[in-house]
Structure 1
Amino acid sequence: MSMLILYAPQGAGKTRHAEALRKHYGCVRVVDDWKVGDLTGEGDLMLTNDESVLTAAVRRRVDVVTLEQALAEMGGADHG
């Protein structure tokens, strides 16, 4: 796993599900409230509600997943 950006609006549950998401994607660290320009490293799961990171992710070739997609992959159960 390189890096992954998880996007969802504020209050959607990114932080609540962070540990389960980190394990699911095989990440080593969660970076909460990530913004473009913040330092990241290999294996980071970056949580954000900033839509501008979606454009930046395409330029940097970083995978982006929405919280809805991630929870569906994990079976839709409450992992918080």
Structure 2
Amino acid sequence: MARSHDNAVTTAVLALTAGALFGAVAALLLAPAPGSETRKRLCGFQEDAAERVRRYAREARLRASGGRKGEDLHYDGGDAWI
């Protein structure tokens, strides 16, 4: 039961994000601005978004590693990785 709830939440979040993204792109493309200005705005948005994704990925890797940078984990043969 928990798994289907997780799938429903994930689907809802993805649908909301996709709708917001498509709406933002449509608003930019349909805005009464010259094409060159709109293209510059889109390029700037893409660069900002790419940098945010890189930053979030770095933060996720750091959190997933438990704050250990560059530390290798070794299996000790028991129930734990040290």
> Under TM normalisation by the shorter chain, which class is it?
under 0.3
Higher share of residues assigned strand: 1
Larger of the two Rg values belongs to structure: 2
The structure where helix makes up a greater share of residues is 2
More relative contact order, 1 or 2 (CA 8 Å, 6+ apart):
1
With normalisation by structure 2, the TM-score equals 0.23
TM-score (norm 1): 0.23
